[in-house]
Amino acid sequence: MRIAMKAMCLLAMAGFALGFSQPLAADSLTVKTEQGKIHGKTINNGKVNAFVGLPYAAPPTGDLRWKAPQPPANWKGVREANQYGARCIPSGASPDMAFLDSGPSEDCLYLNVYAPADANAKSKLPIMVWIHGGGFMAGAGGEPRHNGDFLPLKGVLLVTFNYRLAVFGFLATSELAQEANGTAGNYGFMDMIAALKWVKANAGQFGGDPENVTIFGESAGSFAVSTLVASPMAKGLFQKAIGESGAAFGGSLAYDPLDVREKKDSEWAASLGVKSLAELRALPADKIHDESLKRGMFAFPPNIDGKVLVEPVPDTYAAGRQAHVPLLAGWNADEGVIRVKDPVTAAQWKETAAKLYEARAAEFLTLYPADTDAQATRSAIDYYGDSFIGFSTWKWLEAQAKTGESPVYRYHFELAAPSSKYFKGVYAFHADDIEYVFGTLDTRPESAWRPEDRKVSELFMSYWTNFAKTGDPNGPGLPPWPRYDKDGTLLHLNSTVTSGPDAVRPRYEFLLKGMPAFRF
């Protein structure tokens, strides 16, 4: 009897000790959402609470394939939120992409929330919602380079998510348009809007302020940010916007009118041997994916669908009908190296100028000169970077500065990263900024990072999170960042940070007169 009592006392004492030390951690990792309770995990040595693999919409499968996202199901008990949800089925992938999930699936509408470990429902932290890149055909919310180990330590709540891609995210046949009262496509954008609605409804429970949301993205994610700022469906779901390398103002991704897409996509659907939308929805996802690849790269882009977008994005900005929110945007110095794989000679570049611009070739060569082979190679990188990404992002900044009635900040990222397995040579290449923004340089272990890389990453994180907090990237200890909408001044992000007027504005004014479509 004494032994039993002693054992019970020891167990009680152990329980008291555990009860004293564990419930705080357990409570901070158990959060009630509108769908039910979830239990997360800690990362970065306990500094950040992570809740991953949360459904923000019903699986878009079966009859829900190519439909607007529907609300997720509720659950009873506590759902474990420690495994990333499957990523959406891609139609390609960049070699620099890696993933934390179990693989691609049509059931892929999941998001991830990262909060400082000491956050609670009263914290009212600014919320940063990341929209991944990948040409609207690849990528996922759960990539190591934009995980949440570090950015939340700057006093923000971070959300990342998946959205439908390629044929599953943007198919727009005439039968789909008939079904949806004259609109079709852009399901990937509707997913983004559904994720933002989930954030508005639930993020406060994690410590976020649903009335202080910043959307930010890179490449296609930046195109998406510029689109959501223009979309009537997204109004009121965010208060600030950050775009990194891309905008829906032409360039590498064109948004077709719905009637153009209806014709193309209906012909493609008919080529699969189906006679109705029901039969198309009944096809296995693998077959649809495999057949879609035969159409080539960027075969299923966004469109002007009449719902997410009621007019071309530039028209919305020109009329001042976009969301009047603060904007921070820019691009990288060597975006064009994605196209310029080998050195270009002066003779080759002059020949290219004549072919591309004919009677305007001489003027072109004053802006993208070719006096030497080295200069020609640099000009090629500059020109293809402009036509790929820079020019469209510049037009977005100009449009928001003119009609957006809010502060605008512009940057140019110029610190050339160490050579990696993706780019042999030292460049600030396309997507190079991601690891700097998220403080995740060490997820690219093959690069020999230098002190200046760590310094610039810290600057990125500070500027971005300051902007999320107040709409102004400036803060104590940071080099001053003037407003672009005031006098055209931009920030040069390099080992030494400077600011000044746009020295290459004549290039973009030249391109405004006409520019051939960019092709990879």
Compute the distance between CA of residue 445 and CA of residue 455 in angstroms, rounded to an integer. 17
Is 219 an annotated catalytic residue? yes
Closest CA to 215 of 262, 277, 158, 261: 158
Q: What confidence tier does 69 reach under pLDDT thresholds 50, 70, 90?
A: very high
Q: Is the pLDDT of residue 312 over 50?
A: yes
Compute the distance between CA of residue 504 and CA of residue 383 in angstroms, rounded to an integer. 11
| Mean local confidence (pLDDT), 277-306 | 95
Which of these ranges, 5-9, 440-444, 490-494, 502-506, has the smallest mean pLDDT?
Answer: 5-9
Closest CA to 403 of 310, 304, 314: 314
Task: State residue 483's pLDDT score.
Answer: 98
> Tokens 């080992």 sit at which residue?
495
Q: Is the pLDDT of residue 4 over 70?
A: no
Closest CA to 488 of 403, 412, 408: 408
Q: What confidence tier does 15 reach under pLDDT thresholds 50, 70, 90?
A: very low
Catalytic residue among 335, 420, 435, 457: 335
Q: Is the pLDDT of residue 70 over 50?
A: yes
Is 39 an annotated catalytic residue? no
Q: Is residue 209 part of a domain?
A: yes
Q: Is residue 295 part of a domain?
A: yes
Is 492 an annotated catalytic residue? no
| Mean local confidence (pLDDT), 115-127 | 96
Supply the pTM of this predicted model.
0.94
Q: Is the pLDDT of residue 341 over 70?
A: yes
Structural domain including 224 reads: 34-325
Q: What confidence tier does 105 reach under pLDDT thresholds 50, 70, 90?
A: very high
Q: What confidence tier does 251 reach under pLDDT thresholds 50, 70, 90?
A: confident
Burial (CB count within 10 angstroms: exposed 0-12, middle 13-18, buried 19+), residue 5: exposed
Task: State residue 8's pLDDT score.
Answer: 37
Q: Is residue 112 part of a domain?
A: yes
Closest CA to 168 of 180, 186, 183: 186
Q: Is the pLDDT of residue 212 over 50?
A: yes
Catalytic residue among 219, 222, 266, 387: 219
Question: DSSP letter string over 228-292?
Answer: HHH-GGGTTS-SEEEEES--SSSSS---EEHHHHHHHHHHHHHTTT--SHHHHHHS-HHHHHHHH
Question: 55-67: per-residue pLDDT in tens?
Answer: 999 999 999 999 9
Q: What confidence tier does 423 reach under pLDDT thresholds 50, 70, 90?
A: low
Catalytic residue among 262, 430, 457, 492: 430
Task: State residue 424's pLDDT score.
Answer: 65
Task: State residue 5's pLDDT score.
Answer: 38
Question: 128-137: per-residue pLDDT in tens?
Answer: 999 999 999 9
Task: State residue 133's pLDDT score.
Answer: 97
Q: Is residue 292 part of a domain?
A: yes
Compute the distance between CA of residue 95 and CA of residue 75 in angstroms, rounded to an integer. 38
Q: Is residue 291 part of a domain?
A: yes
CATH number at residue 39: 3.40.50.1820
Q: What confidence tier does 518 reach under pLDDT thresholds 50, 70, 90?
A: confident
| Mean local confidence (pLDDT), 195-209 | 98
Q: Is residue 289 part of a domain?
A: yes
Task: Count up the domains in the chain and report the number.
Answer: 1
| Mean local confidence (pLDDT), 90-109 | 91
Q: Is residue 192 part of a domain?
A: yes
User: What rounded mean pLDDT belongs to the chain?
Assistant: 93
Q: Is residue 348 part of a domain?
A: no
